[in-house]
């Protein structure tokens, strides 16, 4: 791997550096708290990760913003059409007037801050790389597989923790996490209904027939201020291993979406939530809806906080493939059937910066 144009020296043992960082259980925040002035080599991204595509210089080019006000009134068809166009062309959009109270959004951001900024010993209780744990904290799920570590720490929890074992959630953010989750589940149901109609299916098709919202994972990212933001990334280029993602981000920004071979900034808007199509929805829609690559830049100010809910469907028994109602002689299936667990096996065995997991299921 090239680092700042120079090949790493033989004295640099990346595996050992990664292991030493992981064993601190302090994450990236631990480095910042220690007063680090330079980005450690394990975080330095290959130079082409920053320069693979140009950043859009048109400030007015933004992902669509959809007002969900009047969803159950005279604007319903208009909203369905806006969701369809955004999902087919961008794969991303922001929603406002979505029904989640502003104070709940703000409290969720603050809850994630509280967790990350509490005493290290309290956080270590949750530190784990065991994907079977319903609540876990670590830095970079792919730390040992990726070409370069990302500048972030993560608290993640899955549906069982919320539904059956809420006491496992960290106390400093438990109450707001439960409240926010209830709102997000309701919003996801509405969005899947709109997407069903956008595909000219029954409104409950994606939720009832396909069970797209049956399982979810919440991933709370904490991106500390970075001393050399030009050398590393907050999140490498990737598409999401889910049907749908609902993202809450604070006011700092840094999220970029790849559109027409250029990186477009997703500027935060007050009270807005970012929605994006995931790989699974692209597959079952037979490429009607687009799962696009995106990334997060680091910043010299911070910390930045984001909260992403990934709706993943039935993870074990169910098999997914292009929806039969969308297939015809003129529009043959583009993907073979796959299970969510099968997809995850590939996704979690490689770095975030590798190729899309959809490629292995193309016909």
pLDDT at 12: 77
Residue 31 domain-assigned?
Answer: yes
Residue 112 domain-assigned?
Answer: yes
pLDDT at 282: 97
More confident residue, 117 or 360: 117
| SS3 readout for 96-143 | ECCCCCHHHHHHHHHHHHHHHHCCHHHHHCCECCCCCCCEEEECCCCC
The whole domain housing 172 covers: 2-46+79-361
Query: What total of structural domains would you count in the chain?
Result: 1
Q: What percent of the chain has pLDDT over 90?
A: 80
Which CATH number fits the domain that encloses residue 233? Answer: 2.60.120.330
pLDDT(39) > 80:
yes
Residue 62 domain-assigned?
Answer: no
Average pLDDT over all residues of the chain: 92
pLDDT(130) > 90:
yes
pLDDT(7) > 60:
no
Residue 72 domain-assigned?
Answer: no
Please tell me the least confidently modeled range out of 20-24, 86-90, 205-209, 316-320. Answer: 316-320
- Dump pLDDT digits (tens) for 55-70: 988 888 999 999 999 9
- Dump pLDDT digits (tens) for 329-362: 999 999 999 888 888 777 766 656 656 678 888 9
Residue 55 domain-assigned?
Answer: no
φ, ψ for residue 122, nearest 5 deg: -70, -35
More confident residue, 189 or 4: 189
Residue 90 domain-assigned?
Answer: yes
Q: What percent of the chain has pLDDT over 70?
A: 94
pLDDT at 317: 76
pLDDT at 56: 87
Residue 113 domain-assigned?
Answer: yes
pLDDT(123) > 80:
yes
pLDDT at 162: 75
Among residues 309, 318, 352, 356, the alpha carbon closest in space to that of 112 is found at 309
| CA 175 – CA 60 distance, rounded (Å) | 38
pLDDT(137) > 50:
yes
pLDDT at 348: 67
Please tell me the least confidently modeled range out of 22-26, 93-97, 108-112, 357-361. Answer: 357-361
- Dump pLDDT digits (tens) for 247-284: 999 999 999 999 999 999 999 999 999 999 999 999 99
- Dump pLDDT digits (tens) for 204-241: 999 999 999 999 999 999 999 999 999 999 999 999 99
pLDDT at 225: 98
| CA 100 – CA 251 distance, rounded (Å) | 17
Task: Enumerate long-range contacts of 153-156, CB under 8 Å, 24 or more apart.
Answer: 153/27, 153/28, 153/29, 153/116, 153/221, 153/222, 153/224, 154/219, 154/220, 154/221, 154/222, 155/112, 155/115, 155/116, 155/126, 155/219, 155/220, 155/222, 156/217, 156/218, 156/219, 156/220
pLDDT at 6: 41
pLDDT at 3: 39
Residue 59 domain-assigned?
Answer: no
Evaluate whether 109 touches 273 at the Cβ level (below 8 Å): no
Evaluate whether 204 touches 191 at the Cβ level (below 8 Å): no
């Amino acid at each position: 791997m090239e680092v700042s144009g120079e090949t790493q020296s033989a004295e640099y043992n990346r595996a050992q550096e990664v292991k030493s960082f992981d064993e601190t259980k302090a994450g990236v925040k631990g480095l910042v708290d220690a007063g680090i002035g330079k980005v450690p080599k394990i975080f330095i991204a290959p130079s082409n990760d920053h320069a693979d595509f140009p950043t859009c210089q048109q400030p007015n080019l933004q992902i669509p913003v959809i007002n969900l006000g009047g969803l159950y009134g005279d604007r319903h068809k208009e909203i369905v059409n806006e969701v369809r166009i955004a999902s087919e062309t961008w794969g991303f959009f922001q929603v406002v007037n979505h029904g989640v109270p502003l104070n709940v959004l703000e409290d969720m951001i603050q809850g994630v801050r509280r967790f990350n900024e509490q005493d290290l010993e309290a956080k270590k209780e949750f530190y784990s790389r065991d994907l079977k744990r319903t609540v876990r904290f670590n830095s970079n799920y792919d730390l040992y597989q990726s070409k370069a570590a990302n500048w972030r720490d993560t608290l993640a929890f899955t549906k069982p923790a919320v539904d059956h074992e809420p006491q496992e959630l960290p106390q400093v953010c438990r109450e707001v996490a439960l409240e926010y989750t209830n709102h997000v589940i309701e919003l996801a149901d509405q969005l899947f209904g709109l997407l069903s109609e956008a595909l000219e299916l029954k409104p409950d098709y994606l939720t009832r027939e396909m069970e797209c919202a049956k399982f979810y994972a919440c991933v709370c990212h904490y991106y500390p201020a970075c001393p050399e933001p030009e050398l590393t990334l907050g999140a490498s280029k990737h598409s999401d291993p889910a049907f749908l993602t609902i993202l809450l981000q604070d006011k700092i920004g840094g999220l970029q979406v790849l559109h027409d071979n250029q990186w477009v900034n997703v500027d935060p808007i007050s009270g807005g939530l970012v929605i994006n199509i995931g790989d699974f929805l692209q597959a079952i829609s037979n490429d009607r809806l687009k799962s696009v690559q995106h990334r997060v830049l680091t910043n010299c100010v911070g910390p930045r906080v984001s909260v992403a809910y990934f709706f993943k469907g039935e993870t074990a028994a169910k098999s997914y493939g292009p929806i039969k109602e969308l297939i015809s002689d003129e529009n043959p299936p583009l993907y073979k059937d796959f299970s969510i667990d099968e997809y995850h096996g590939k996704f979690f065995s490689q770095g975030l910066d590798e190729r899309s997991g959809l490629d292995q299921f193309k016909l």
